[in-house]
A and B are shown apart, each in its own frame.
Chain A
Amino acid sequence: MRVDPPAFADAQTLTRQLGDCGYIASDEVGLALFLAYQLQKPLLVEGPPGVGKTELAKAAAATLEQPLIRLQCYEGVDEAKALYEWKYGKQLLYTQILKQQIDQVLGKSEGLGASMEKLHAMDDIFFSERFVEPRPLLKALQQPEGAVLLIDEIDKSDEEFEALLLEILSDYQVSIPEIGTVAAQQVPVVILTSNQTRELSDALRRRCLHLYIPFPGMQQEITILRSRIPDISSLLAQQMAAFVERLRQLELGKQPAISETIDWGRALLLLHADSLDRDTVLSTLNVLLKHRADVDDVAAQLPQLLGSEP
């Protein structure tokens, strides 16, 4: 029987607990994690890049005090990289070392049939759990204390890989043909993230809870800034949040994410800036914006963007 950690008693407590771990969550995010944990369902998190989808998994692991196991998806990721692999080298080495033993064992037996029988018996030794190299998915199932399994950027993987995930996500088990089915010792908390570069299949969506994290509101961004950069002055945090908020209204090639705002804050702190003025912003814009065209656009509109500051 599983004992719920106190943080997971209800959604509000969880949200607060996440905050203590340095992740400022909206109520919705806390609720989603709470439901995912209680219902033992994977949580699919979508949203623009840099809103803290991956951070959520890290904070969840910290709150639960469980290890975080991460599988980074990419094009061509397959069973051998995600699930398990046979330790081929070890198998080879063992057969070489044990060659003499094998000779002895086989030497005494008479006839082809008897040797075959003995070989069959040995076959199972070499395809046992000792020779399985667990990859993230299998590793997450094997944790006796449970784990937080993060399957990052699932949209980067191929469609076939999604199908492979279905067994794990719905039943928390893996079938290895030579060994059998490995069931989870403790159901892990599974968090999948996606940047929506391609549509995920309905089968996958159906098995998950779905959470969409948008860019944060201004107040929330200020809170995040102050929690991540404790030395920042409240005036600067406020100005920065307002400025970034206005930037996100513009049509940019890439919108500034929270992580970039935080980087920008750190950069400003290094430059000993107490408030935003035209020159500081101009010289640090490249921290916030990652396209040449965007920087030029914003630089041209800078007076308007800064002008209406309170």
Chain B
Amino acid sequence: MRFVAALRNAGLPVSSDETLVAAQSINLVGYDNRGQLKAALSMVLAKTESDKQLFDLCFERFYGNRTAHQESPDGSDKPDPNQDRASAELCPQLQHLFNASPDELALAVQQAGTRAGLDSIRLFTQKGVFRRKILEQLEWPALQQMMLETARAAPGGSPTLSSLQDFAARLQGQAREHVDQQYALLGEARSANMRDQMLMQTRINRLQPRQKAHCRQLVARIAKNLIKHFKRRKRYFRRGMLDLHASLRHNVATDGHLFRLYWRRKHRDRPRLFIVCDVSGSVRQYAEVMLLFVASMQELLPRARCYAFSDRLEDISPVLKVRGDTENAIATTLQRVGRGSTDYGAALDSFAELAGPALNRNSVIIVLGDARNNHTDPAVKTFQRCADKAGRSYWLNPEGRYAWNSGDSVMAQYQPHCDAVYEVGTLAQLEHFCEDLLRKTL
């Protein structure tokens, strides 16, 4: 079933079992009622609301065209002497096409498309190539030759020529339509996948504004996957030693014979994140994406606190809880805070003051910044004190490793006090870090 292939391409996970059920339900419902067929297939193949929207789109694209043809009035029934003359001069295949109804023509183009390997279309730049290949399959060169000869024979134009031209235009239009439709079905999703991969590898501060929305979707998807993965993982660690009290209590009914054992549960506190973001001009975009990420993972890390600073530090945790347009809220807040020039020393001092009492071995400090301190005091001692108090501390630097410690960057001074230092320039690197973080702390 090519429809299922198209759905899978669009990102719907359709299993082979579901394909079977779909075939059975088509048997039950039949092809007569289009609305009913669509509803039935949608129930069998698309299992969430967002999947249903995708399904609707695919269904319309896949089956939409055919009904359009069936409804269009068939005007080619009337015999036209010019047409007859024109068709008589064509080779058999073209003759057949020339006299074909729109439906037959569509079918012929479709078959030519399959022969030309249209199923493998990936990029929109391939559209032209495939159009030409399809036309070649349909004896297009012969038709052009014919048109040329007719034009030469009657330079002033003739009815035969015009009907030939008309036919050529129809053929071209049909081929274009078919290629467009197939690209929409098969190619678009594939090139979207490719675009995703590119986005993952692009440095975050080079993203164009128009890529932002896409980037946001990507972040949400990655966060969702991580949540799914780590929610399950948590439970492995739970069982502890035998709980004698509870076992005795529950087995009173059996005279204290231990029929059923109860185990102590190891209680693991969830980590508490303290995120400190440098939001001065150079790093702000990274901070935005980072916070978006943390906001998307509220389910796993509900007690995260975050602080933003340029010349002074501010607690911006409420922004994570904003429902709805989180991205905008983050952007405006960061813009407000990020006006001054960076001063890590002052920021760390006020961080120690604000968050210091709350730090314990469950805390995780994450600093996001390029450690470019404008040659002021880096307050390494304060950072060390905080890092010692917290269970873990990480430093994320958006710059490439080659640039660390050059100019006014003081990365080397902070590095010894962190559990690990990551380079987080792209979404892929950010995902890698988050996975590491969750694995170590949950």
Contacts and interface: CB of A to CB of B under 8 A. Distances in A.
B49 A39 contact: no
Interface residues of B, number: 23
A210 B47 contact: yes
Given A27-B36, A205-B48, A211 B43 contact: yes
Interface centre among B13, B43, B231 (most CB of A within 10 A): B43
Interface stretch (A30-38, A70-78, A289-297): A30-38
Given A11-B29, A38-B28, A39-B25, A32 B253 contact: no
B17 interface: yes
Contacts of B49: 46, 212
B44 A209 contact: yes
B43 A39 contact: no
Contacts of B70: none
B52 A212 contact: yes
Contacts of B28: 34-35, 38-39
B36 A35 contact: no
Contacts of A32: 39, 43
Contact of B253 (A31, A46, A88, A206): A88
A209 B18 CA distance: 9
B36 A209 contact: no
A28 interface: yes
Given A41-B21, A206-B17, A212-B52, A31 B47 contact: no
Contacts of A208: 47
A279 interface: no
A46 B232 CA distance: 24
A140 interface: no
Interface string A195-233: 000000010011011111000000000000000000000
A35 B29 CA distance: 9
Nearest to B14: A206
Given A11-B29, A31-B29, A35-B25, A206 B47 contact: yes
Nearest to A28: B39
B9 to A, nearest CB: 18
A98 to B, nearest CB: 18
B406 interface: no
A41 to B, nearest CB: 7
Contacts of B52: 210, 212
B44 A35 contact: yes
B144 interface: no
B112 interface: no
A38 B25 CA distance: 9
A88 B48 CA distance: 42
B311 to A, nearest CB: 39
B222 interface: no
Nearest to A26: B39
A35 B46 CA distance: 15
Contacts of B218: none
Contacts of A137: none
Interface string A30-63: 0110110011010010100000000000000000
Indicate the member of B29, B232, B253 with the most A CB atoms within 10 Å.
Answer: B29
A89 B18 CA distance: 45
Query: Chain A: interface secondary structure?
Result: helix
B405 interface: no
Most chain A CB atoms below 10 A, which of B17, B40, B52: B40
Contacts of B29: 11, 31, 35
B21 A39 contact: yes
Contacts of B48: 205, 210
Contacts of B44: 35, 209-210
Interface in A147-181: 159
B211 interface: no
B25 A210 contact: no
Nearest to A43: B43
B46 A210 contact: yes
Pick the most buried of B18, B35, B47, B48: most chain A CB atoms within 10 A of its CB.
B47
A32 to B, nearest CB: 5
B415 interface: no
Nearest to B43: A209
Contacts of B17: 206
Q: Which of B25, B35, B39 has the most CB of A within 10 A?
A: B39
A200 to B, nearest CB: 9
B72 interface: no
Contacts of A212: 49, 52
A60 B13 CA distance: 30
Nearest to B13: A202
B36 A31 contact: yes
B44 to A, nearest CB: 6
Nearest to A31: B39
A68 to B, nearest CB: 22
A34 to B, nearest CB: 8
B147 to A, nearest CB: 52
B24 interface: yes
B15 interface: yes
Given A35-B28, A88-B253, A11 B36 contact: yes
Interface in B131-183: none
Interface string A99-141: 0000000000000000000000000000000000000000000
Contacts of A35: 25, 28-29, 40, 43-44
Given A27-B36, A28-B39, A206-B18, A39 B24 contact: yes
Interface string A222-256: 00000000000000000000000000000000000
A107 to B, nearest CB: 23
Task: Give the one of A44, A159, A210 with max B CB within 10 A.
Answer: A210
A210 B47 CA distance: 5
B253 A205 contact: no
What 4 pairs across the A-B complex have the smallest Cβ distances? A205-B47, A210-B47, A209-B43, A28-B39
11 contacts: A27-B35, A28-B39, A31-B36, A32-B39, A35-B40, A35-B43, A159-B231, A205-B47, A206-B15, A210-B44, A210-B48
Given A39-B28, A46-B49, 15 more contacts: A27-B36, A28-B39, A31-B29, A31-B40, A35-B43, A38-B28, A39-B25, A202-B13, A205-B47, A206-B47, A208-B47, A209-B43, A209-B44, A210-B48, A210-B52
